[in-house]
Amino acid sequence: MTDSANQPVWHEPQVSREQLWSTHKFHGMTIWLTGLSGSGKSTIAHELARKLTELGKFAYVLDADNVRHGLNSNLGFTNDDRAENVRRMAEVAKLFASAGAITIVPIISPFASGRQFARLIHSADNLEFVEVHVATPLADCEARDTKGLYAQVQAGANIELSGVNAPYEAPSAPEFVLCLNGEPLDLCVETLLRDVLLRCGMKR
């Protein structure tokens, strides 16, 4: 039997999203960067946030690695844990976007179902969700090996790495595909910056 007294109750804020955004000139949305380890997701995310901040926009990088030090510190790297990691990141990103932040999320997010969930909860809350596939080829990611993970796998370490010995389901219809043909990261950042500013009603 369900104890109704313990059921959470949704509280509508006294300050509406429209009031919040208009007062502070915010325009919240989520930019979701998916791709293999070493593809350049975090580099693009932080540079995009820097440029947006210089232009007076409220931008925040919700870095998946950083969140694993706190909120998601109890999660490992099994398929179930990776899926839960993405679910939590999506929910937090939605909260940030609703609060008015241009929320930039660099996260491998290897499963299409997780990314679809992220999109759906944003759409249901009338928030923009922009999926970006940072599609740097595996060979280039291995050559960069920014975290040393590819070398560990090659050395026989007992770790699972998306796109190598663990699944990675590439997006089928993202808003943007970047870095597929060796485009420089600054060009990728500029592409996203133009799009974000247009969504905010500004021209680049």
Cβ 94 vs Cβ 127: under 8 Å = yes
Which one of 37, 98, 109, 162 is the catalytic residue? 109
Indicate if 162 belongs to the active site. no
What is the C-alpha to C-alpha distance for residues 126 and 93, in angstroms, rounded to an integer?
Answer: 13
Cβ 16 vs Cβ 109: under 8 Å = no
For every residue of 73-100, DSSP letters joined together read TT--SSHHHHHHHHHHHHHHHHHHHHTT
Cβ 156 vs Cβ 111: under 8 Å = no
**Which residue, chain included where needed, has tokens 């109704």?**
4
3-state SS, residue 106:
strand
3-state SS, residue 134:
strand
What is the C-alpha to C-alpha distance for residues 166 and 150, in angstroms, rounded to an integer?
Answer: 12
- Active-site positions read 109
